[in-house]
Structure 1
Amino acid sequence: MRALICGAGIAGLTLAWHLERAGWHVEMVERAPEFRTGGYMIDFYGAGYEVAERMGLAARLHERRYPFTELDYVNRDGLRTSGFVLPPSFREVVSLLRGDLARTVAEEVRAPVRYACTVEAVHQDGQDVTVTLTGGLRRTVDLLVGADGAHSRVRELVFGPEDGYVRYLGHHVAACILTDRELNAQVGQRYQMLTVPGLMAGAYALRQDRLALLFLRREADPSLPADPAATLRDHFGELGWILPAALPRLPADLYYDQVTQVRMESWSRGRVVLLGDACQAVSLFAAHGASMAMAAAWILADELRGGDLAVALARYEERMRPTIAEVQELGRRFIEWMAPSSRLRITVRDWTFRLATLPGADRLFLNFLTPGGHNLIRRRVDQLAGG
């Protein structure tokens, strides 16, 4: 069996890993000019981590993790206003850069990746699917997988324009990595965030004197600015903390996008199937995107072992859809916690974090932050495995 996977991110690479070991011939295309490094910091655990363990990747992930044990909210002077020290039940969480997770999977994938390339046309005849790629290249395969993100080209070609599926959540997001020894030391080995109504800036110290930055901005207009760096300086430049030193140094490869979720009635059509953010985007607010991407890839590969493609694709969706719906609901609920819209909400959040430090309160707090609680996500891959 032959598969073409569009998108060499976490979802696409994980699927390639599994299909290769099931005897498939796999080829990948990626619209980025090269492998995407960096990205923002993620907390990786639950179903995705269970899949990574089954793939034999856990040891390498722990080598690349960062010792994140504390979350601090700070004010304009950099003084802590509230925070949360992770309880022992959280210590299994692996905090690492999204790009480091993708690289860990990529190191075990044999399939060739054609960069600066995407899908330009798709034709199905019932027996196979013919795909035209950038530059006029053609491939005829048994399965085309669109794992190319929330702005999926495969989804657009096969299912229609993205405005029918992408739901804007009222925020813009930006992320980048700087190299600065002084800022790195100032932030230290904890995640720090500064929030004012409608704006959030976060920072985390990385190895080699680097600093990961994340920005959220409430914005009614979903259209993206022509100059993202200038937009960030305009909105965040007067907030204090480390921002006056960091904002003038934003790199050219700054990531800037809408915060969105993707909701679709069907994830496949004929011999074309969507995976990861292309059909299941849960949003930055949900914080389980990477985990869900790996779990979904594992489920899809598991179903494809059955032989009947139509049945496999239907079963993949049946098994994953309830979990995705639950995590998306979590993301919508968490918006006002991660990016509060008023000073009152910021005050309520700060007091909630203070109360979470009381004996026994950490479990109640965790049940709010995760869909059904941490143990539910942790068990989910076994539930999915049972169909």
Structure 2
Amino acid sequence: MKISRRALVSGASVAGPALAWWLERAGWRVEVVERASQLRTGGQNVDVRGAARGVVRAMGLEDRLLAAGTGEAGIRFVDGAGRSLAEFPAGEGDSGGATAEAEVLRGRLAQLLVGACGDGVRWRWGDTIAALDQRPAGRDHEGVEVTFASGDRATYDLVVAADGGRSRTRDLVPGTDARLRPLGVTIAYGTVPPAADDDRWWRWYVAPGGRNVTLRPDGEGTTRAALAFAADPDGPAGLRLADLDDDGRLDLLRRRFTGAGWESERVLAGLAADPELYVEHLAQVRAARWTSGAVALLGDAAWAVTPLAGQGTSLAIAGAQVLVGEVEAALAAGGTVAEGLVAYERVMRPVVEDVQDLPPGVPRLAYPRSRVAVAAARTALRVAGSRPARRLAGLLPGGDDGPAWEVPDYPALTRPAGGAPT
């Protein structure tokens, strides 16, 4: 008879629910702890491409994923008058294009993944992990003893931090030695009311001063907007932004983008009215290790490639299957959870490092500062079939297909889904 094992997953965005689904499929009893009091359904556009499309297909969710898409037709670069400089249509199939075929709002994807989990997954909302005590073999109740912020305690055979790039759970895992690598770009995201000329294209405007303004369709009757700027090389303005309250953030955004041109004034007004305005200073997570015994990091908590590199959502989804597949393979061979986690990192790390290795000139080339540099970028874009234009397209988030790899075949995960944990 198969031993029933317990897993705790921290984070209920994308990586966490995807991992919970695969753990449940493999027969684990799963608990997901999430700081928010309920599922967060907001967020911007994300895509699922490459190996992750195969994972979603294996989960039986591909049709629902495509049906939940934003309907984005592709990316269109515009000038200050809104005139098109160049267009790059959405990709077709599993990969390709700055806009993927499977383009979806983060919140819709989270809903899809959470809804796909069965009764073997328990959701603990409004709580966090406060302490981890990993017990070595030979002690009573071998496993990881977890103390929650609520005061509850429980022991698990596996604990995974999948709670984002600023993960607090990660700080409790010894040996990871995680550090943030700032990329010198700050982005403000939000939702704005639709306008008459909004269409199905992701419109991108580049202004002097290292500023970008973008508008994207969301399939919800509103428009997703972003203001991005390169941080001053001689000052920490971008770093300060994340520490300001809403009024302070808006004030700094106004000082940065007032007079920037195109739809900047509309976006500033829309973000000021958006209660879910989100601002981040882009930073990759670089960790010496993603595992410590029976505890592991997954998704942005482990690697946070950032929107400049793209692929973050896809890596989280693919990484979830790899983690469970390698743990199950190790257990089937008479090994341990810890050995399976080491194998998971061995598979995923080269793929992640390939994505984190940004092309030369990024982000500088994507955020030109002078009017001359902006004019040069627009000239290159107008020659849509030229090498400079193709190169610029490759600098966009998700602008290439990413690393060519597939999730290994895991026989332990091919049994019919939906069975109750033993």
Pairwise same-fold verdict (TM > 0.5): yes
1:192 aligns with 2:203: yes
1:350 has 2:375 as partner: no
Which segment drifts farther, 25-34 or 328-337?
Answer: 328-337
The answer to whether the 8 Å contact 2:69/2:219 transfers is: no
Q: 222-231 vs 28-37, which deviates more? A: 222-231
Query: How far apart, in 1, do the equivalents of 2:61 and 2:351 lie?
Result: 23
Query: How many angstroms apart in 2 are the aligned matches of 1:56 and 1:122?
Result: 34
For residues 235 and 381 of structure 1, what CA distance do their matches in structure 2 show? Answer: 42
1:141 corresponds to which residue?
156
Query: Aligned partners of 2:44 and 2:388: how far apart in 1?
Result: 29
Residue 275 of structure 1 is matched in structure 2 by 298
Deviations along 1:50-73, one digit per CA (max 9) or x if unpaired, are: 111111111011111123233122
Q: Map of 1:254-293 to 2, 5 A cutoff?
A: 254-293=277-316
Change (3 A) 1:319 1:176: same
**Residue identity opposite 2:54 in structure 1:** E
Say whether the 8 Å CA contact 1:284–1:331 is kept in structure 2: no
Structure 1 residue matching 2:110: 3-state secondary structure: helix
- Asked if 2 retains the 8 angstrom alpha-carbon contact of 1:267 and 1:274, the reply is yes
Paired amino acid for 2:319: A
Once structures 1 and 2 are overlaid, which stretch shifts more, 312-321 or 339-348? 339-348
* Structure 1 stretch displaced more, 139-148 or 195-204: 195-204
Partner residue of 1:54 out of 55, 58, 63 = 58
Q: Deviations over 1:142-187 (max 9, x none)?
A: 111100111111111224898x511111111221113x24x2x322
1:73 to 57, 72, 77: 77
1:86-101 counterparts in 2 under 5 A? 86=90, 90=97, 93-101=101-109
Shift of 1:119: 0.9
CA distance in 2, matches of 1:84, 1:172: 25
Which residue of 1 is the match for residue 86 of structure 2?
Answer: 82
Shift of 1:125: 1.5
The equivalent residue for 2:191 is: 177
Mapped pair 1:381 → 2:406: yes
Q: Give the 3-state SS of the residue equivalent to 1:287 in structure 2.
A: coil
Q: Call closer, same or farther: CA 1:365–1:211 in 2, change over 3 Å.
A: closer
1:329 alignment partner in structure 2: 357
Structure-2 separation of matches of 1:15 and 1:120: 21
Query: Shift of the alpha carbon at 1:138?
Result: 1.3
Q: CA RMSD of the aligned region, Å?
A: 2.8
User: Which residue number corresponds to residue 275 of structure 2?
Assistant: 252
Q: Bigger shift: 246-255 or 307-316?
A: 246-255
Per-residue deviation, 1:349? 3.4
Give 1:340 shift: 3.0
1:341-367 Cα distance to aligned partner (Å, 9 max, x none): 444443443344334436x99987777
CA distance, structure 2, for counterparts of residue 135 and residue 44 of structure 1: 35
Quote the residue 1:230 is aligned against.
251
Structure 1 residue 260: Cα displacement: 0.9
Q: Does the Cα contact within 8 Å between 2:393 and 2:399 map onto a contact in 1?
A: no
Instruction: Rate the CA distance shift 1:368–1:236 in 2: closer, same or farther, 3 A.
Output: closer
- 1:140 is paired with a residue whose SS is strand
Find 1:315's aligned residue among 326, 339, 343: 343
Q: Which moved more, 1:79-88 or 1:98-107?
A: 79-88
Unaligned runs of 5+ in 1: none
Write the deviation string for residues 26-59 of structure 1: whole angstroms up to 9, x where unpaired. Answer: 0011112321213111232111111111111110
Measured after TM superposition, the shift of residue 252 of structure 1 is 1.7
Identity of counterpart residues, as a percentage?
31
Question: When the two structures are aligned, how many residues end up with a matched partner?
Answer: 379
Moved more, 168-177 or 345-354: 345-354
Change (3 A) 1:372 1:189: closer
TM-score normalised over the length of structure 2: 0.82
SS of 1:136's partner is: coil
Give 1:312 deviation, angstroms.
0.4
Asked whether the equivalents of residues 285 and 304 of structure 2 are also in contact (C-alpha less than 8 Å), the reply is yes
Cα displacement string for residues 10-37 of structure 1 (whole angstroms, at most 9, x for unaligned residues): 1111110000010101001111232121
1:203 corresponds to: 215
1:10 matched residue in structure 2: 14
Contact kept, 8 Å, 1:10 with 1:290, in 2: the verdict is yes
Q: Which amino acid aligns with 2:131?
A: A
DSSP-derived class of the 1:107 partner? helix
- TM-score of the pair, normalised by structure 1: 0.89
The AA in structure 1 aligned to 2:267 is A
Separation in 2, partners of 1:7, 1:284: 19
Give the letter for the 1:204 counterpart: R
Q: Would the alpha carbon gap of residues 335 and 93 (structure 1) be closer, same or farther in structure 2, given more than 3 Å must change?
A: farther
Partner SS state of residue 307, structure 2? coil
CA contact (8 A) 1:48 1:295 kept: yes
**Whole-Å Cα distance in 2 between the matches of residues 151 and 316 of structure 1?**
22
Deviations 1:82-126 (A, max 9, x none): 333346664862121122222211110132222221111111112
